[in-house]
Structure 1
Amino acid sequence: MLKGLKVIDYATYVAAPGCAGILADWGADVIKVEPPGGDPIRLFFASLGASDGPNPVFDMDNRGKRGMVLDTAQAAGRDALLKLVDGADVFITNVRPGGLKRAGLDHDALLARCPTLIYGSMTGYGLDGPDADRPGMDSAAFWARSGLAAMFRPKGGEPVALRTAFGDHVAAMGFAAGILAALYERNTTGKGRLVEASLLRAAHYAAGSDFAIQHVRGRIASNRQRADVPNPLINYWKTADNKWLTTLTRLGEKDWAKFARALRVEHLIEDPRFANSRARRDNGAALVQILDEAFAARPLEEVAAALDAEQMIWSPVLTAAESITDPQAIAAGCVVQTPSADGGHFNAPAAPIRFPGGDDGPKGPPPGIGQHTREILAELGYAAAEIDAMFSTGAAA
């Protein structure tokens, strides 16, 4: 779908390369420009003390890209990057604003040079304000600074850690949408623009319902233990075969009777302690205890059938291992085969949107460090001797 779109991925780690990875899945020609030594995310498992082997964290966000190494601290490396930009539609970076400014690679400089360029900036905290140049990863900017870590913390408990690159991938989705919106605008105006994304802003949108409540009503509910939640029916339950599931109810009162029938506690429907949402909230601990016993008396398969018969909203609580083989996840296209460098394939998460009938999957393996440097420099018009000279000085690798 994006065939012919040229994207320069001058970024490291996950959020910005993840955005470029989505565009690569959808057909863009993405050139990943790495610093000498490569993108640090290539060292993800080594930094954990793990042995050498596949690095699916890097592979997921960089599949289908061509890769080159340029030392933009050297004039020759910087000039090569600028030549790449001259022929590009999109430039994506997460280098901090101060460093870009010093190198003459900030958005003002590149948009002056290439007025039709879509310049995508991903930062931790945005391009304005006292922390604009502060380094930020998702556990800091997306999770802690935004308020999400406090929101997810159980009442009275300690903050919980964010899962690997979770905030990065949330931000990457929004970033990709913003870049495509800017490209659409360019089709009308003929002008490029700056597209500014940040982990902090992505977090405020991801938790937008809670933040909207905080803005208007001045407080939000805390995360509580199962027996103390505002709506006891929106909860987690363990069945007789030690399987967990979650249930949700629609707004209003119509689901209470259905829920009670499915759990064989019809006698509670008119019980004044539970007859409406306010009563159920006030007597939540008692209701959760009763329902715990009802769920624990039957295996998941039987409970599932009863909930389905009443058209209730529920889901099993799957592990990651169960989820990646879930028939519904497979049918929904959540898992795609990614080409590997050895000619084989491996399973990986799909890009977030499906285009039925379209070619929306991985286009190739992730690149090795500097795998395509010579090829791309030659495409830019460099002679073999010039390329050799850049390699000899370390301006390219």
Structure 2
Amino acid sequence: MLLNGLKVVEFASYIAAPGAAGILADWGAQVIKVERPGGDAMRHVFADAKSELSGNPTFEMDNRGKRSVVLDISKPRGREALARLAAKADVFLTNVRASSLKKSGLDEPTLRKANPRLIYAMVTGYGLEGTEAETPGFDVTAFWARAGVAMMTTPKGHDPFLLRTGVGDHTTSLATVSAILAAVYEREHTGVGRLVQTSLLATGVYTVGSDLAVQLRFGRLASNKPRTAPFDPVANFYRSADDRWFVVNPRGGAVDWPVLTKVAGRPELTEDERFRTSRSRKDNSALLVAELDAAFGAMAFDEIARRLNEADLAWAPAQTPAEVAADPQLRAAGALVEVDDGSGRAHLSPAAPAVFPGLDPGVLPPCPALGRDTRKVLEEAGFSAADIEAMYDEGAAA
């Protein structure tokens, strides 16, 4: 695999930082996941769910292929063990607060003394500087709400709504992987590692950067509009006679406007004075949506799909999660991977969103049980059998 030989120590929990380490593991890095006693909180996300289903696919997705080590850094031997693992690593990845890391002697300057080549990656809610650097942040708070994503997404006049699990986290995971690999490249030239840092806040700002750039430049930004009166009614969601939603997103300008009216079976709308220009379509957007609602609402979805495809328009069905899971294009696009469930059987899981043609990922290793690899990893780090037993006896390792 691409990252064979890259050694990563992850001292993190929840999704954003473990997700970044999970991508690196998918691409061949050797990832040691260091957990506190009791484990990453995400291990227990379904523990109280009243269901006959077993497993924790949310946690398994971000932690497949890793080795699990349990260390209690409140104890000197636990802190020493984690520092020794970092001394032999290429990357130390964490989302623990900077003040806690410094108190434990696991901050970047301290670990770098023992390992100048170390890339020390920190994932935060709000960054490492400023008055709110230590403020706790999740993706729904720092990414979704604070970065403006929620209010930009909510149509004017509607209440904001919560973000689905991990959306901001996984976007930050991708940013973190990019930062780590940039630092790996730099180290190849300098021989020295560096501190890299990503935040949910900055990732949220970049995610809506196309719009926020307008706000920053001009001091104002148009609000999101409801479907029935959108900014551009030509790019909108519509529903078929058999209750299937789809979205059309024609190319800029007026190139696709006459094409869309033919697809809808209403070519006369092209020269209708209310809709003939982009300005008139905007001014009369509610009227145009009503016309297109009626047109598409009289056709079956399969017929609409056929017409849109024949016209070579950009469009897509608005799929439910069940429909996405059954969509064959996901496999063709490399969006899914097979993962060992720990018993020799494979199940499908979302893939890291990159494909390396000619490189078959095969069946990826399973998510490790809590503390499965503690003893073996400590042995590899040079601890004697007596030292390891002493750590277990005093609860510094498990």
Taking the aligned partners of 1:230 and 1:71, their CA distance within structure 2 comes to 55
Partner of 2:382: 381
- Alignment match, 1:132: 133
For residues 305-345 of structure 1, the C-alpha deviation after alignment (integer angstroms, 9 at most, x for no partner) is: 11122211110011011101101112111111111222211
* Superposed CA offset, 1:34-92 (max 9, x none): 00111111111125566772000110000000011000111101111111011100000
CA contact (8 A) 1:27 1:363 kept: no
Amino acid at match of 2:13: T
Give how far 1:112 is off: 2.9
- In 2, Cα distance between the equivalents of 1:48 and 1:73? 31
Measured against aligned partners, the alpha-carbon deviations of 1:192-232 in whole angstroms (never above 9, x if no partner) come to 00110000011011111011111112222222221211100
> Which deviates the most, 248-257 or 61-70?
248-257
SS of alignment partner, residue 228 of structure 1: coil
CA distance in 1, matches of 2:259, 2:49: 49
Residue type at the aligned position of 1:171: T
* Matched-pair contact (CA < 8 Å) for 1:21–1:64: yes
- AA matched with 1:99: S
- Using the TM superposition, name which of 126-135 and 50-59 deviates more: 50-59
Residue 348 of structure 1 and its aligned partner are, at CA, apart by 0.5
Q: Does the alignment pair 1:120 with 2:121?
A: yes
Q: How many residues align?
A: 397
Instruction: Look up the match of 2:9.
Output: 8
> CA separation in 1, counterparts of 2:231 and 2:113?
54
Partner SS state of residue 31, structure 1:
strand
Which amino acid in 2 is paired with 1:102? K
Matches within 5 A, 1:1-397: 1-46=2-47, 53-360=54-361, 363-397=364-398
Contact 2:12 2:94 in 1 (8 A): yes
- Aligned mates of 1:181, 1:320 — CA distance in 2: 34
Structure 2 residue ranges without an equivalent (≥5): none
Structure 1 range deviating more: 218-227 or 238-247: 218-227
1:152 and 1:160 in contact (8 A); partners too:
no
Q: Which amino acid aligns with 2:105?
A: G
**Whole-Å Cα distance in 2 between the matches of residues 264 and 307 of structure 1?**
11
Stretch moving more, 19-28 or 330-339: 330-339
Identity %: 49
Q: Higher mean Cα deviation, 118-127 or 335-344?
A: 335-344
Structure 2 counterpart of 1:326, one-letter code: D
Contact 1:45 1:51 in 2 (8 A): no
Residue 263 of structure 2 contacts residue 308 of structure 2 at CA under 8 Å; is this kept in 1? yes
Residue 353 of structure 1 aligns to which amino acid in structure 2?
A
Q: Is the 8 A contact 1:235 1:247 kept in 2?
A: yes
CA distance in 2, matches of 1:48, 1:36: 22
Tell me, yes or no, if the aligned pair for 1:74 and 1:395 is still in contact at 8 Å: yes
Structure 2 counterpart SS, 1:201: helix
Q: What is the alpha-carbon distance in structure 1 between the residues aligned to residue 84 and residue 52 of structure 2?
A: 38
**TM-score with structure 1 length normalisation?**
0.97
CA deviations on 1:120-147 (whole Å, 9 max, x unpaired) are: 0000000001110111111111111111
| TM-score calculated relative to the size of structure 2 | 0.97
CA distance in 2, matches of 1:99, 1:315: 47
Letter of the aligned partner of 1:206 in structure 2? T
Whole-angstrom distance in 1 between the partners of 2:32 and 2:5: 13
The one-letter amino acid paired with 1:339 is: D
- Report if the CA contact (8 A) 1:27-1:360 is conserved: no
Residue 362 of structure 1, CA deviation? 5.9
What is the one-letter code of the residue matched to 1:321?
A
Residues of 2 paired with 1:49 and 1:214: CA distance? 46
Counterpart Cα distance in 1 of 2:210 and 2:49:
36
Whether the 8 Å contact between 2:8 and 2:21 is mirrored in structure 1 is yes
Shift of residue 113 of structure 1?
2.7
Seen in structure 2, the aligned counterparts of structure 1 residues 77 and 344 have a Cα distance that, compared at 3 Å, is same
Between the aligned partners of 1:51 and 1:381, the Cα distance in structure 2 is 43
1:154 deviates by 2.2
Counterpart amino acid of 1:274? F
1:53 and 1:110 map into 2 onto residues whose CA distance is 39
Distance (Å, rounded) in 2 between the aligned partners of 1:235 and 1:188: 49
**Distance in 1 separating the partners of 2:362 and 2:146:** 34
Structure 1: gaps (5+ residues): none
Residues 38 and 369, structure 1, Cα contact 8 Å, conserved in 2: yes
Instruction: Give the aligned residue type for 1:228.
Output: A
Cα distance change, pair 148–362 in 1 and its aligned pair in 2 (3 A)? farther
Distance 1:158 1:354 in 2: 38
1:52 and 1:281 mapped to 2: Cα distance? Answer: 49
